[in-house]
Amino acid sequence: MTVLVTGGAGFIGSNFIFFMLGRYPGYRIICLDKLTYAGNFTTLESIKDDPAFRFVKLDICDREGVYGLFEEEKPDIVVNFAAESHVDRSIEDPEIFLRTNIIGTTVLMDACRKYGITRYHQVSTDEVYGDLPLDRPDMFFTEDTPLHASSPYSSSKAGADLLVMAYHRTYGLPVTISRCSNNYGPCQFPEKLIPLMIVNCMNNRPLPVYGEGKNVRDWLYVEDHCKAIDLIVHKGRVGEVYNVGGHNEMANIDIVKLICRELGKSDELITYVADRKGHDLRYAIDPSKIHGELGWLPETAFADGIKKTVRWYLDNRTWWEDILSGEYRERYDRVYVHR
Ligand code: NAD
Ligand code: DAU
């Protein structure tokens, strides 16, 4: 079985590759990644010589390059993590989000149609549903919640989801979609809430909380997301959407205070800053479908997951210091190109 993982040098994709190599020793895993600012080859360096693994530096929008790779590798399964993924960046500059998240998805699915695959899986997000009120804890996103995206990022992901379902209906492409809540864990780029706060806290720098810090996110340890995708790809029903989330809602300010406590720092580092434009209030997933059909349940409790995550950033200082200094950008060239 050959699995093509796009965006595998990013946060969730890299965790997924390590998970799959451990779980399926007979599988061949191909990672296709453009290595944008968010893609870090250092994360995958330990497996670069593993015969079961191949890394290809490529843009999912590069039709000729993508077709060439499909011709060569004939993947059975494609799992598309490749995306521009940061809401704040999408507010600054939406266009690249439309290109990668929508056009790129289309190019990948065209390649799947042309060369044939058994499954195309789109890694989507709960943000396509928009947000929920803070004062209605009884409300959750189900797979039937209408798409109502708020930001350029989530709109581009919603557009891609519509195209995935259109390719299923129009061309019979065997697709599945997962819509997961906020992930946290090792190897997350330090621009997202949890790693940014850990790194700033370790450096005694201000912790910028948007607005009043009351917005709520539903946090899931990244390995639990990887396990959900594995189940969906192997056992999920074609043409279906599966929501993934662990009923772990927390206000941003509580997360930041918890990180301060974990690192033995005072709350004085917390700085309230201007709110994000159009800031979604609350996300909360109803995971009954994936639980009922595939038996998935999250395995890592937040109290344990956040300790493991803080520990990882303490133990892997070079990983994020190289990111902050820009050093990681040249890593791939040094390891693969100029050696
Ligand atoms: P990330 O930003 O850490 O990684 C994205 C990866 O995609 C990077 O390695 C980057 O180099 C690569 N990439 C970007 N543009 C590309 C292109 N044109 N061609 C090839 N590769 C390209 O993102 P992440 O947090 O790991 O998210 C992965 C996927 O999961 C995304 O599709 C995101 O929408 C979705 N998702 C993320 C979360 C979360 O909490 N992080 C939750 C639910 C869903
Ligand atoms: O819900 C899934 C989504 O979760 C994914 O689809 C996205 O790719 C991922 O980036 C994430 O989106 P969010 O916008 O929820 O994540 P972010 O880490 O950017 O922000 C989490 C919350 O913390 C949000 O309410 C904004 C707030 N925040 C964020 C940053 C970076 C702050 O208060 N301060 C910050 O510095």
The residue ranges of every structural domain in the chain are 2-185+219-248+278-302
Give the binding-site residues of ligand 1, using a 6 Å CB cut-off. 6-7, 9-13, 33-36, 38-39, 59-61, 81-85, 100, 104, 123, 125, 157, 180, 182-183, 189
Closest CA to 263 of 219, 222, 307: 307
CA 87 to centroid of ligand 2, rounded, Å: 7
Please give the structure tokens belonging to residue 21. 């190599």
Which ligand has its closest atom nearest to the C-alpha of 89?
2
DSSP H helical segments within the chain, as ranges?
A: 11-23, 63-73, 87-92, 95-98, 105-115, 152-171, 193-202, 222-235, 252-262, 288-294, 302-315, 317-325, 331-332
The two beta strands, 2-6 and 77-80, are parallel
Please give the structure tokens belonging to residue 274. 């201007």
Distance CA 47, CA 73 (A): 19
Tens-place pLDDT, residues 261-288 = 999 999 999 999 999 999 999 999 999 9
End-to-end CA separation in angstroms for the chain: 31
Indicate which residues carry an active-site annotation.
Answer: 126-127, 153
CATH classification of 2-185+219-248+278-302 is 3.40.50.720, yes or no? yes
CB of 217 shorter than 6 A to ligand 2: yes
The two beta strands, 2-6 and 28-33, are parallel
CB of 87 shorter than 6 A to ligand 2: yes
Distance CA 35, CA 83 (A): 11
- pLDDT higher than 90, residue 333: no
Tens-place pLDDT, residues 187-214 = 999 999 999 999 999 999 999 999 999 9
* pTM of this structure: 0.98
Tens-place pLDDT, residues 82-138 = 999 999 999 999 999 999 999 999 999 999 999 999 999 999 999 999 999 999 999
- pLDDT higher than 80, residue 337: no
CA 274 to centroid of ligand 2, rounded, Å: 14
CA 230 to centroid of ligand 2, rounded, Å: 25
DSSP structure string for 218-281? E-EEHHHHHHHHHHHHHHSPTTEEEEE--S-EEEHHHHHHHHHHHTT--GGGEEEEPPPTT---
Which ligand has its closest atom nearest to the C-alpha of 177?
1
CA 41 to centroid of ligand 2, rounded, Å: 23
In terms of C-beta density within 10 A (0-12 exposed, 13-18 middle, 19 or more buried), how is residue 50 classed? exposed
173, 271 Cβ separation under 8 angstroms = no
Q: Indicate the DSSP class of residue 48.
A: T
* Contacts of residue 199, Cβ cutoff 8 Å, sequence gap at least 6: 190, 313, 320, 324
DSSP structure string for 308-321? HHHHHHHHTHHHHH
Distance CA 178, CA 126 (A): 9
* Contacts of residue 228, Cβ cutoff 8 Å, sequence gap at least 6: 178, 180, 242, 244, 290, 294, 296
Higher pLDDT, 331 or 25: 25
> How confident is the model over 1-14, as a mean pLDDT?
98
Tens-place pLDDT, residues 29-51 = 999 999 999 999 999 999 999 99
Probe ligand 2: pick from 183, 192, 220, max atoms within 8 Å of CB? 192
Which ligand has its closest atom nearest to the C-alpha of 88?
2
Closest CA to 231 of 242, 239, 245: 242
> How confident is the model over 241-256, as a mean pLDDT?
98
**Confidence at residue 329, expressed as pLDDT on a 0 to 100 scale:** 86
The two beta strands, 216-218 and 249-251, are antiparallel
In terms of C-beta density within 10 A (0-12 exposed, 13-18 middle, 19 or more buried), how is residue 204 classed? exposed
CB of 85 shorter than 6 A to ligand 2: yes
Residue 339 — pLDDT band, cuts 50, 70, 90?
low
Nearest protein CA to atom 30 of ligand 2, as residue:
193
Distance CA 149, CA 33 (A): 26
Q: What angle do CA 6, 9, 10 make, to 5 degrees?
A: 90
**Confidence at residue 334, expressed as pLDDT on a 0 to 100 scale:** 80
> How confident is the model over 156-176, as a mean pLDDT?
98
Tens-place pLDDT, residues 60-84 = 999 999 999 999 999 999 999 999 9
